């Protein structure tokens, strides 16, 4: 799957805060592991930044998990092999995060 296709797919997703659709220019691809892609998107309307994991299989609609934490992403990217289900499981397990991305990012 081409990066451009992933980006174009992301424009069909709406910002969870204000409902604005993401724009291609606001999608940054962080990396991928086989069918699992990691993206960072920012909303052009409200500037909310969001981390996204998308499972992309040839000929199928991608399955997207949004609102990942940086720690989750990091964990996923270091794993050797994992399935979409594992990502979704871990995501729901770690859902207690307070969602304060600006604090997270400013620690870098
Ligand atoms: Zn927004």
pLDDT beneath 70: ranges in the chain = 1, 80-108
User: Domain count of the chain?
Assistant: 1
* Residue list, CB under 5 A from ion ligand 1: 15, 17-18, 20, 43, 45-46, 48
Condensed to tens digits (0 to 9), the pLDDT of residues 26-40 reads: 999 998 888 888 999
Instruction: Tell me, yes or no, whether 102 lies in a domain.
Output: no
Strands in 27-33's sheet, in edge-to-edge order, are 27-33, 36-42, 49-55, 63-66
Give the global pTM: 0.64
Residues in Cβ contact with 5 at an 8 Å cutoff, skipping those fewer than 6 apart: none
Residue ranges making up the domain that contains 85 = 3-97
pLDDT of residue 40: 94
pLDDT of residue 64: 83
Q: How far is the CA of 3 from the centre of ligand 1 (A)?
A: 23
pLDDT of residue 81: 65
Instruction: Tell me, yes or no, whether 8 lies in a domain.
Output: yes
Instruction: Tell me, yes or no, whether 104 lies in a domain.
Output: no
pLDDT of residue 35: 83
């Amino acid at each position: 799957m081409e990066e451009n296709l992933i980006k174009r797919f992301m424009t069909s997703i709406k910002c969870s805060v204000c409902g604005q659709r993401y724009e291609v220019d606001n999608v940054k691809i962080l990396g991928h592991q086989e069918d699992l892609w990691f993206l960072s998107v920012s909303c052009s309307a409200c500037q909310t930044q969001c981390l996204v994991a998308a499972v992309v299989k040839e000929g199928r609609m991608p399955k997207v998990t949004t609102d990942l934490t940086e720690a989750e992403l990091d964990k996923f990217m270091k794993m050797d092999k994992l399935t979409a289900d594992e990502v979704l499981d871990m995501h729901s397990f770690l859902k207690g995060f307070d969602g304060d991305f600006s604090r997270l990012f400013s620690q870098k």
